[in-house]
């Protein structure tokens, strides 16, 4: 309001904007225009920084990754097809640098955590959007969102100190009753996936809920008028109408799980292997990157360059998923607004 | 008559069954909503049981030690706070600037659309990738300042093989590349949280009603006067809330800083932004990876309690600010 009172007498006093003293800063009109242009240019640069960041990511990841592939010990063909990832294996051969085990680990953890987060997140979104009274919702929603704010290293701790012992005891119990021989590694994909599922649960739930709440009320009322029950309205009207938004949320959550690092670094192990057994120790792409960085690898060695090849693969995978998710989300917005 | 009764009877039974299914579904919904909360409770109880008794003053006053009873995370706490301050310092003007540009200045054209899509895609880039970006660009400067690089040879720069180019601007020591320094960490974290800061700021700016802008324009204010004196003050609480939430995310991140080469054993407090550092999540991760249960279970549990306490108070502050200053237009 101070700016307003300073402007008022001035604008009453002047007839042409060329005169000095029109504006409170005391700048002439021309200087003021230049000043405005400078401000606009610097704000534009702030906006452009995001583009520069993307370029920086692409140049640094792919530049170093190309350096990796130009080495005589490795080649792109074996990188994509070999089922062994043994960067410390001797002798160094292209066969030891196959990305498959790491991709296998990443996808397994992402799929398993999705299998936990998707049903729970979708059901809790239906509850929050369609069933819960406003007061209950205003309490439950922020508490659920705390789950997304817990640091991932804390989830990793939770996985090995709480979930892993439960899984192992459960397996022992099953073994003693059924006489099976289920073996659970201390570091295993399942434990990491369970806590990862808990971590991405709020993401699934809040995006799905947003999608459901933007379904027009008239659709629900129309269904009620035809004699539908609440359950039928929720499952046969609201969920299908919000499906594209829900789907976008699923993909986003999947990509988040694929890029998550500390949980898998702590709890999933460091044994890159191609397997479908979630009870065995595995390694994900992010897990490998952290393992290499956490130890002392000399700069320029094959190991320190290999993380860029792995990082570039991860970046491409998550980027494709994000683009698909954004595309679906954009289309869906057009429908209801 | 009889047929009518039959239909009625069937209908009643049908309706009762539907209602029962509806009730079962309701219970299922409630259970899945509570599942997340139960996990949160289990996490907190687990932490309290394992870590609370190790929550001693030594945790705050000592550095990491070979003896778990004497180990602390003083340098990690200080490191986290400095990284937090640097990240806030960089990301606030950059994030708000970008948000102001996109909301108040940007013309509706292809470039603006591209920047928009770009920002939402950056928000989904894994944090390890930001670590690798920071390592190549900030920490190593693309290797341009190594003694054998073309740049150094062409300009005949006096580089040191270990620290690169050291020079002074206005009496302040500068280094290129930035190395494993606090500055590198702050810059990488800034890039990591910028998409979040921009999106939150945009939402806060968009919530300021147009009538305010129009009134100021009507009085002859320039665009920057409208933005700096009317829109930004009105949007400030929202921006601040988003900022704090983004910073609390940065505070819990370990992966990008591990890749940047943050050290796990830092037995000194940093004196300048060029010093090496560690942060709380890295110290905790380091303890989790040690074989002894004193470190792996108890000390890391206590460290997590400190970290979670800091994060919860930051979140509480954000919620308080939102409720205290939120304006309904």
Which region among A41-50, A188-197, B68-77, B142-151 has the lowest average model confidence (pLDDT)? B142-151
Which region among A24-38, A144-158, A253-267 has the lowest average model confidence (pLDDT)? A24-38
pLDDT under 50: residue ranges of chain B: 1
**Can you give the pLDDT at residue A321?**
92
**Can you give the pLDDT at residue B328?**
65
Q: Report the DSSP beta bridge partners of residue B166.
A: B175
What is A99-336's CATH topology?
Answer: MetI-like fold (1.10.3720)
pLDDT, mean of residues A56-79: 90
**Can you give the pLDDT at residue A20?**
44
Per-residue CA distances from A69 to A65, A72, A74, B259 (Å): 6, 8, 6, 21
B133–chain A nearest CA distance, Å: 5
For chain B, which domains are there? Answer: 79-140+177-275 (1.10.3720.10)
**Can you give the pLDDT at residue B288?**
92
**Can you give the pLDDT at residue A333?**
62
- Give the confidence band of A2 by pLDDT, cuts at 50, 70, 90: very low
Which among A57, A205, A266 is the nearest to B285, CB-wise? A266
- Give the confidence band of A8 by pLDDT, cuts at 50, 70, 90: very low
**Can you give the pLDDT at residue A261?**
93
The closest alpha carbon to A211, from A247, A253, A254, belongs to: A247
Per-residue CA distances from A279 to A84, B226, B235 (Å): 20, 60, 50
**Can you give the pLDDT at residue B206?**
94
B22/A140 CB distance under 8 A: no
Q: Report the DSSP beta bridge partners of residue B174.
A: B167
- Segment 78-97 of chain A within 8 Å of chain B by CB: none
Looking at every residue in chain A, the average pLDDT score rounds to: 86
User: How many angstroms separate the CA atoms of B279 and B308, rounded?
Assistant: 14
Cβ atoms within 10 Å, residue B59: 20
pLDDT tens by residue, A214-265: 899 999 999 999 989 999 999 999 999 999 889 989 999 999 999 999 999 9
The closest alpha carbon to A193, from A124, A118, A127, belongs to: A118
CB B249 within 8 A of CB A149: yes
User: How many angstroms separate the CA atoms of B174 and A279, rounded?
Assistant: 51
pLDDT tens by residue, A290-327: 988 887 666 667 888 899 999 999 999 999 998 898 88
A117–chain B nearest CA distance, Å: 10
**Can you give the pLDDT at residue B161?**
73
Contact residues for A279 (Cβ-Cβ < 8 A; gap 6+): A167, A171, A182, A183, A184, A185, A188, A189, A190
**Can you give the pLDDT at residue A92?**
79
User: How many angstroms separate the CA atoms of A328 and A331, rounded?
Assistant: 5
User: Across chain A, how many H-helices and E-strands are there?
Assistant: 15, 0
> What phi and psi, each to the nearest 5 degrees, are found at residue B176?
-135, 130
**Can you give the pLDDT at residue B4?**
59
Buried b (16+ CB within 10 A) or exposed e, A249-272: bbbbbbbbbbbbbbbbbbbbbbbb
Region for A227 from its dihedrals, namely left if φ exceeds 0, alpha if ψ lies in -120 to 50, beta otherwise: left
B304/A157 CB distance under 8 A: yes
Strand ranges (DSSP E) for chain B? 165-169, 172-176
**End-to-end C-alpha distance for chain B, whole angstroms:** 62
Contact residues for B329 (Cβ-Cβ < 8 A; gap 6+): B207, B208, B209
CB A274 within 8 A of CB A83: yes
**Can you give the pLDDT at residue B153?**
78
Q: Above 80 in pLDDT, residue A334? A: no
CB A96 within 8 A of CB A87: yes
A147–chain B nearest CA distance, Å: 7
Which 3 state secondary structure label does DSSP give B10? Answer: helix
A154/B285 CB distance under 8 A: no
**Can you give the pLDDT at residue A1?**
40
Which of chain B's residues have a Cβ under 8 Å away from the Cβ of A7?
219-221
**Can you give the pLDDT at residue A72?**
84
**Can you give the pLDDT at residue A87?**
81
Q: What's the ipTM?
A: 0.89
Buried b (16+ CB within 10 A) or exposed e, A286-325: bbbbbbbbbeebeeeebbbbbbbbbbbbbbebbbebbbeb
Which 3 state secondary structure label does DSSP give A243? Answer: helix
**Domain ranges within chain A, ordered by starting residue:** 2-70, 99-336
> Which chain A residue has the Cα nearest residue B92?
A46
B128–chain A nearest CA distance, Å: 7
Any CB–CB contact under 8 A between B24 and chain A? no
User: How many angstroms separate the CA atoms of B326 and B329, rounded?
Assistant: 10
DSSP output for B86-119: HHHHHHHHHHHHHHHIIIII--SSHHHHHHHHHH
**Can you give the pLDDT at residue A88?**
78
**Can you give the pLDDT at residue B170?**
77
Q: Above 60 in pLDDT, residue A22? A: no
> Which chain A residue has the Cα nearest residue B47?
A158
CB A258 within 8 A of CB A317: yes
- Give the confidence band of A19 by pLDDT, cuts at 50, 70, 90: very low
């Amino acid at each position: 309001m101070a700016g307003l009172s300073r402007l008022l007498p001035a604008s009453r006093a002047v007839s042409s904007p060329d005169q000095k003293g029109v504006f409170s800063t005391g700048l002439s009109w021309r200087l003021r225009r230049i000043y405005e242009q400078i401000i606009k240019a610097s704000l534009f640069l702030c906006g452009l920084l995001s583009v520069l960041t993307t370029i920086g990511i692409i140049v640094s990841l792919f530049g170093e990754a190309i350096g990796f592939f130009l080495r005589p010990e490795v080649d792109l063909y074996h990188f994509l097809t070999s089922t062994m990832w043994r960067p410390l294996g001797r002798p160094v051969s292209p066969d030891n640098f196959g990305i498959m085990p790491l991709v296998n680990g990443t996808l397994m953890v992402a799929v398993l955590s999705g299998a936990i987060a998707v049903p729970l997140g979708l059901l809790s979104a239906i509850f929050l959007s369609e069933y819960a009274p406003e007061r209950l919702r205003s309490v439950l929603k922020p508490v659920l969102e705390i789950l997304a704010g817990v640091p991932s290293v804390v989830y990793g701790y939770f996985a090995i100190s709480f979930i892993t012992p439960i899984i192992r005891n459960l397996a022992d119990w099953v073994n003693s009753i059924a006489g099976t021989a289920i073996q659970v590694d201390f570091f295993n994909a399942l434990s990491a996936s369970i806590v990862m599922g808990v971590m991405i649960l709020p993401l699934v739930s809040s995006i799905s809920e947003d999608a459901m709440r933007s379904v027009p009320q008239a659709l629900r009322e129309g269904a009620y008028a035809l004699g539908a029950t609440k359950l039928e309205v929720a499952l046969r009207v609201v969920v299908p109408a919000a499906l594209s938004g829900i789907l976008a949320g699923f993909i986003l959550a999947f990509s988040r799980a694929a890029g998550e690092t500390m949980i898998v670094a702590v709890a999933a192990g460091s044994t890159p292997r191609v397997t479908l057994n979630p009870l065995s120790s595995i390694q994900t792409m992010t897990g490998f990157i952290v393992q290499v960085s956490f130890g002392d690898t000399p700069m320029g060695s094959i190991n320190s360059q290999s993380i860029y090849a792995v990082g570039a693969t991860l970046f491409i995978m998550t980027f494709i998923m994000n683009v698909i998710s954004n595309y679906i989300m954009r289309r869906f917005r057009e429908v209801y607004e | 008559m009889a047929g009518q009764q039959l239909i009625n009877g069937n209908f009643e039974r049908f309706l009762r069954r539907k209602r029962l299914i509806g009730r079962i579904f309701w219970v299922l919904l409630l259970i899945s909503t509570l599942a997340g909360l139960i996990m949160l409770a289990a996490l907190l109880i687990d932490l309290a049981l394992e870590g609370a008794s190790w929550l001693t003053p030594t945790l705050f006053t000592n550095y990491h030690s070979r003896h778990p009873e004497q180990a602390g995370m003083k340098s990690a706490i200080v490191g986290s706070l400095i990284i937090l301050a640097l990240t806030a310092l960089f990301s606030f003007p950059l994030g708000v600037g970008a948000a102001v540009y996109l909301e108040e200045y940007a013309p509706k054209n292809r470039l603006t659309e591209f920047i928009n899509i770009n920002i939402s895609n950056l928000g989904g880039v894994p944090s390890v990738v930001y670590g690798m970006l920071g390592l190549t660009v900030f920490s190593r400067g693309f290797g341009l300042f190594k003694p054998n690089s073309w740049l150094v040879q062409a300009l005949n720069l006096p580089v040191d093989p270990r620290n690169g180019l050291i020079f002074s601007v206005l009496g302040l020591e500068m280094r290129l590349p930035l190395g494993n320094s606090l500055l590198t960490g702050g810059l990488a974290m800034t890039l990591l949280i910028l998409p979040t800061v921009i999106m939150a700021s945009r939402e806060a700016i968009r919530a300021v009603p147009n009538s305010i802008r129009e009134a100021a324009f009507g009085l002859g204010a320039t665009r920057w006067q409208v933005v700096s004196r009317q829109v930004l003050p009105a949007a400030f609480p929202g921006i601040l809330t988003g900022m704090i939430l983004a910073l609390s995310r940065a505070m819990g991140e370990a992966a990008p800083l591990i890749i940047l080469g943050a050290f796990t054993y830092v037995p000194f407090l940093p004196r300048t932004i060029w010093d090496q550092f560690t942060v709380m999540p890295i110290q905790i991760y380091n303890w989790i990876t040690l074989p002894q249960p004193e470190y792996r279970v108890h000390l890391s549990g206590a460290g997590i309690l400190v970290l979670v306490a800091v994060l919860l108070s930051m979140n509480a502050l954000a919620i308080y600010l939102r409720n205290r200053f939120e304006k309904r237009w």
